[in-house]
Amino acid sequence: SLALSEKALKVKPSSTLAITAKAKKLKEKGVDVVGFGAGEPDFDTPINIKDAASDAINSGFTKYTPASGTDELKLAISKKFKEFNGLNYEKNQIVVSNGGKHSLTNIFEAIMNPGDEVIIPAPYWLTYPEIVKLCDGVPVYLYGDKKTGYKITAEQVQDAITPKTKALILNTPSNPTGMIYSEEELKAIADVVVKNDIYVVADEMYEYLIYGDKKHVSIASLGDEIYKRTITCSGVSKSYAMTGWRIGYTGSSVEIAKLMSSIQSHQTSNPCSIAQKAATEAINGCQNTVGEMKKEFDERRKFMSDRIQAMPLVDTLEPEGAFYVFVDCSELIGRSYKERKIESANCIANILIEDYNVAVVPCEDFGFDKHIRLSYAISMKAITKGLDRIEDFLNTLS
């Protein structure tokens, strides 16, 4: 028959794309739109990294590499894991892939059997449930509370565990909340994970983008037992403004690394040889640009959360990492705007783009339907203009 894959048909197209498409259309018409949707740094890839890529091209480093990445890049990653994360992953425990998203896909392909459950703390990055479902798994959602910085607790994890639970996804710093799990919180969660003998998929993609005196802690660094059960995932996309280069990586047991490497060898072969050279320079080279980017993000973060906290009807916690502000709009739900009832974050996002030329991400697909996400990976000037417009909208309601 010509019937299409039931699994593929179940993949949800992202609602964020609808708003982005509307914003793009308006921009093309010449409308001055402020886009708070950005999921990538607004900085250019640092010049030393670009030069390494040019050198790779000019020296003919343009052929297949080993499927799981070059030794040179794996050594750089291994050193970084040791020095930054306090983790010992040797070369044969590291797999380099085509971006963090691909690394996550490899992980679930390597560990899942049909019907396995994966615990996903909400709000979550919208891709997790879709990857789990594509790997024949069942997402099980746990909801964080504003009082605990939208983070889930060890008790919640324990209560969600069934004989079918295979893994817990833990994303710190979090997209969309910008919150960070402390060592104490992670220790409690690690105890539950070890006791119940499940995996942790630790997505630490934003690990370098942490502000103030907060510190990144990798759950796998908290003891041998949790180390054995964790697959740590990171990449160069967010830390080095390299979203387009598509390099992500994992640290895991040798056994899981072998499985992922063999899956990848059939699905994509190696990640781009040129991008691997660039990523090697990003990790081994001068780190000053990371600090400069972080400083700029930090200023925008404070400015934005202070202003939102001062606005009527909405609220936010000051984010501690990544480059997003997660805005609680529950006070808006049920109010009327131009004879239209505001029913969800999607409505708010539609009003903002249609009447105020501001694009925001409604968080329905992140598991929270009364919240929106604003990215501060845009200029201070644009942030100011966009927040003025949002405030104008809120003033019509209060």
Cα gap 154→161, rounded to integer Å: 11
Q: Which two tokens stand for residue 123?
A: 């709000």
Q: How far is the CB of 262 from ligand PLP (least distance, A)?
A: 21
Cβ 257 vs Cβ 250: under 8 Å: yes
Task: Kindly state whether residue 125 participates in binding ligand PLP, applying the rule CB under 6 A.
Answer: yes
Task: Kindly state whether residue 41 participates in binding ligand PLP, applying the rule CB under 6 A.
Answer: no
Among 97-105, 137-145, 160-168, 360-368, the segment contacting ligand PLP (CB under 6 A):
97-105
Q: How far is the CB of 234 from ligand PLP (least distance, A)?
A: 9
Total residues interacting with ligand PLP, rule: CB under 6 A: 13
Q: Which two tokens stand for residue 228?
A: 């054995």
Task: Kindly state whether residue 45 participates in binding ligand PLP, applying the rule CB under 6 A.
Answer: no
Among 46-54, 87-95, 99-107, 307-315, the segment contacting ligand PLP (CB under 6 A):
99-107
Residues in the chain: 398
Question: Given the complex with ligand PLP, which of 46 and 342 has the nearer CB atom?
Answer: 46
Q: How far is the CB of 173 from ligand PLP (least distance, A)?
A: 8
Task: Kindly state whether residue 367 participates in binding ligand PLP, applying the rule CB under 6 A.
Answer: no
The DSSP result for 319-379, as a single string, is P-BTTEEEEE-GGGTT-EETTEE--SHHHHHHHHHHHH-EE-EE-GGGT-TTEEEEE--S-
Cα gap 303→283, rounded to integer Å: 30
Cβ 372 vs Cβ 364: under 8 Å: no
The only residue of 99, 178, 271, 321 in contact with ligand PLP, by rule CB under 6 A:
99
The only residue of 37, 46, 69, 100 in contact with ligand PLP, by rule CB under 6 A:
100
Which residues in 129-188 contact ligand PLP (CB under 6 A)? 171, 175
Which residues in 11-40 contact ligand PLP (CB under 6 A)? 39
Q: How far is the CB of 206 from ligand PLP (least distance, A)?
A: 7
The only residue of 74, 101, 229, 370 in contact with ligand PLP, by rule CB under 6 A:
101
**Cα 60–chain centre separation:** 34
Cα gap 336→398, rounded to integer Å: 10
Element (H, E) at 250: strand 248-251
Which residues in 369-398 contact ligand PLP (CB under 6 A)? none
Task: Kindly state whether residue 280 participates in binding ligand PLP, applying the rule CB under 6 A.
Answer: no
Which residues in 197-236 contact ligand PLP (CB under 6 A)? 203, 205, 235
Question: Given the complex with ligand PLP, which of 40 and 90 has the nearer CB atom?
Answer: 40
Question: Given the complex with ligand PLP, which of 127 and 196 has the nearer CB atom?
Answer: 127
Among 77-85, 94-102, 271-279, 359-367, the segment contacting ligand PLP (CB under 6 A):
94-102
Rg (CA), the chain: 21
Q: How far is the CB of 316 from ligand PLP (least distance, A)?
A: 18
Q: Which two tokens stand for residue 314?
A: 């909405």
What count of other Cβ atoms lies within 10 Å of the Cβ of residue 207?
A: 23
Q: Side-chain half-sphere of 141: how many Cα atoms within 13 Å?
A: 16
Task: Kindly state whether residue 120 participates in binding ligand PLP, applying the rule CB under 6 A.
Answer: no
Question: Given the complex with ligand PLP, which of 290 and 311 has the nearer CB atom?
Answer: 290
The only residue of 158, 182, 243, 350 in contact with ligand PLP, by rule CB under 6 A:
243
Task: Kindly state whether residue 284 participates in binding ligand PLP, applying the rule CB under 6 A.
Answer: no
**Cα 40–chain centre separation:** 10
The only residue of 149, 248, 251, 386 in contact with ligand PLP, by rule CB under 6 A:
248
Helix (H) and strand (E) counts in the chain: 14, 15
Question: Given the complex with ligand PLP, which of 149 and 356 has the nearer CB atom?
Answer: 149
The DSSP result for 63-129, as a single string, is S---TT--HHHHHHHHHHIIIII-----GGGEEEESSHHHHHHHHHHHH--TT-EEEEEES--THHH
Residues 6 or more apart in contact with residue 266 via CB below 8 angstroms: none
Task: Kindly state whether residue 121 participates in binding ligand PLP, applying the rule CB under 6 A.
Answer: no
Which residues would be at the binding site for ligand PLP (CB under 6 A)?
Answer: 39, 99-101, 125, 171, 175, 203, 205, 235, 237, 243, 248
